[in-house]
Amino acid sequence: MNIELIRNDFPILKTISAGRPLVYFDNGATTQKPLPVLEAIYEYNSRQNGNPHRGSHVLAIAASEAYDGSKEVVREFINAKSTREVIYTRNTTESLNLVARSYGETHLKKGDRIVITVAEHHANLVTWQRVAQKTGAVLDYIYIDKETGKFKEEDFAKINDQTKIVAFAQVSNVLGLVFDPKPLIDLAHKHGAVVVLDGAQSVPHQKVDVQELDCDFFVFSGHKMCASGGIGVLYGKEALLEDMEPFNLGGDMIDRVEEQVTTFAELPTKFEAGTPNVEGAVSLAAAIKYLNNIGFEEIEAHEKKLVTLAIEGMKKIPNVRIIGSDNPAEKTGLVAFTVDDVHPHDVSELLSAAGICIRTGHHCAQPLHIYLGVNATCRASFYFYNTEEEVAYFLDKLGKVRAAMGYKD
């Protein structure tokens, strides 16, 4: 990887803040867009923009080809069997809501069990709360070791023959732990449960093969992997998708509409009502090609260096507490932390004044924070365009936070 050349692909990284190029460590929230993605968006909007699947003129056809062609790029990227298994949504959250509404609420009944983890993003937690409330199913949790952040394996026994859905993130957006989901997927299938795997924080950083994982549903967002906002993906096994009701109703998702009855379109169209986000689909295909061109092995190796530097540096700063494991080998792309006696928002403001962007709050994972006994945390999340020099600058400024608040360590 030539970091200098890569950074030249990202115009926003040239932004000057506090007298120096901006340090962007909020990639877990959203990533920046490289020139090939920006150019693909411009090319589409300036030469191909039309409403797909709704006309026979040249722009409608061009838009249809761009939209449908992007599905094959996504299919190959996650190794789905068919583009029929690739549904476009707005984001990971909508993908999870689609599964919860169109599968969870229609297939579960009173006494069935749903098992998730306490570390889930609200999008993969509140959704299942509602399914449980509407169906009478029981929602249960796999907890974590508060020191290491690892799942308590004794809680895996909560997955039994009454369990119908097991939903969890491949990588926690707070803990950032490297987690092999295959044993948990296999255990769920042993008991006849359907697995919903949240890949929002994994897909940007590592290669994912949905057939190898054998998950039943897989979800992720384009904006967390260099694409534009407003485009997300739901992968589902074809047999499950065929058996599900549409989430949204309207144009394009129909085969035939009469006064009293409607026949829905074939997959994947029956889940994609209305005018689709063609621009987002184009950007996602361009982003995937860009990431593949760099190579995920290179991306993982570079990010591991950054995480290692960050964690080892934090360990040397008095009163900085790393959330979860402090072993860099167990982390993927991010580190959550607190600074003793300093509110995370104050930490963020002081770093922002130095031109450093991090995330603070409960990161849409409030139950996890309650379980850990902290109100909020700071999170530094890295991507392949970040540098070791940026990490060193971040550590220098982090080490001065308490002094800036009037504490004498």
**Catalytic: which of 215, 226, 364, 378?**
364
Q: How many helices (H) and strands (E) does the chain have?
A: 15, 17
C-alpha 55 chain-centroid distance: 34
Angle (nearest 5°) at CA 343 between 338 and 348: 80
Contacts of 153 (CB under 8 A, 6+ apart): none
What single letter denotes the amino acid at residue 392? A
**DSSP state string for 98-138:** HHIIIIIHHH--TT-EEEEETT--GGGTHHHHHHHHHH-PE
Q: Roughly how many angstroms between the first and final C-alpha of the chain, as a whole number?
A: 39
Tokens for 140, please give them: 């249960």
357 noted as active-site residue: no
Question: Is the CB of residue 119 less than 8 Å from the CB of residue 146?
Answer: no
Sheet holding 163-169, edge to edge: 86-89, 232-236, 217-221, 194-198, 163-169, 113-117, 138-142
Known catalytic residues are: 364
